[in-house]
Amino acid sequence: MDFRTAVFFLCTTATLLSTTCAIAGFLPFLSPTFFPLLRFHIQRTYRVAFFSACLAFIYRIGYTLKKLTGGVTTQEQMRKELNAVTSSNGFQLTMFSVIFAFYSRPLIIALFPICVPALYQWFTIVHKIFHSEDGKSLYTKVGMSRIFSFLQEKMHVALSLSALMEIVILAVIVTDSVRKRSVGKTFMYVMWLRSRYQCEDNTVFRIKYTYYNTGYYHKEAWKSLNQNLFAPLTSRVPALQRVSDGIAMAFTQPRSRGI
């Protein structure tokens, strides 16, 4: 295992373990023995999940920038390379992690978009180390190779669900903002979410998507929500349908000015 692989393995392991502990703290059937202890550590494990993912994202950005800027000779080239980095999954998910690591309360649903790529990265590293073609390794005998193959086949489904979760989180933030009479976080998240449909990156950590890119999954998620969730509610009221169409367009198409 080389140094880069070790960094991603340690970071994704920390992300997955911390997420598991954070979720466990919300499971009442663990009480009364474990629940109070887990509840006490929810905030800590919740933040560790985001921070460990952030570390991997930033590490990837760092060595990518070093590689990209090595041959840059003009300011225009530098600008293009920096734009490519800031529109990447790594940069956008770093911003996402920072937003929710310091959110007013642990928002467990927000862990999903970082856990999906973390799981794929972790499993890829483990598979590379322990898989054997002859089927004699314990890893292969217990069926882990089959699980890895299944996950690879269903990657597009996992990425679609991840995009959907990022959209659903907006509703939670809006609800919190209305209750607290504060729109700062809502505005920040809306701007972040609007950047996702423009993301043409098809990698995260060191994983390459089997199909399409992030922008595609977000556009399809909004399309699905508009057709399958909003349409049954708005089909009888044309004015509401125009509103739902406008919301979907706001997160899937550029404005005439700005983003």
Q: Answer for the pair 15, 115: CB distance below 8 angstroms, yes or no.
A: yes
C-alpha 22 chain-centroid distance: 17
Q: What SS3 state is found at 143?
A: coil
For 256, how many CA atoms within 13 A lie in the half-sphere containing its CB? Answer: 0
pLDDT at 68: 63
The count of domains in the chain is 1
Bridge partner residues of 204 (DSSP)? 207
Does any domain span residue 195?
yes
Helix 155-180, helix 214-224: angle, nearest 10: 70
43-98: pLDDT as tens digits: 888 999 999 999 999 999 988 877 666 666 677 777 887 888 888 999 999 999 99
Q: Tell me the C-alpha distance between 107 and 124, whole Å.
A: 27
13-46: pLDDT as tens digits: 999 999 998 887 776 655 455 555 555 577 888 9
pLDDT at 81: 77
Q: Tell me the C-alpha distance between 212 and 219, whole Å.
A: 11
Does any domain span residue 210?
yes
Q: Which domain holds residue 98?
A: 3-250
List helix spans (H) across the chain. 3-24, 35-69, 75-86, 89-101, 112-130, 138-141, 144-153, 155-180, 184-196, 214-224, 231-234, 238-250
Does any domain span residue 255?
no
228-254: pLDDT as tens digits: 776 666 667 667 767 777 777 777 777
114 pLDDT higher than 60: yes
Could you give the C-alpha distances from 47 to 17, 29, 59, 205, 228, in angstroms and in order? 12, 23, 18, 19, 34
Kindly report the pTM of this predicted structure: 0.85
Q: Bigger pLDDT: 100 or 71? A: 100
Bridge partner residues of 203 (DSSP)? 208
Q: What SS3 state is found at 118?
A: helix
Does any domain span residue 257?
no
What are the backbone dihedrals phi and psi of residue 97, each rounded to the nearest 5 degrees, phi first?
Answer: -65, -40
Does any domain span residue 28?
yes
User: Mean pLDDT over residues 127-137, rounded?
Assistant: 82
Does any domain span residue 258?
no
pLDDT at 259: 42
What are the backbone dihedrals phi and psi of residue 183, each rounded to the nearest 5 degrees, phi first?
Answer: -110, 0
Does any domain span residue 231?
yes
Tell whether the torsion through CA atoms of 213, 215, 220 and 222 is positive or negative: positive
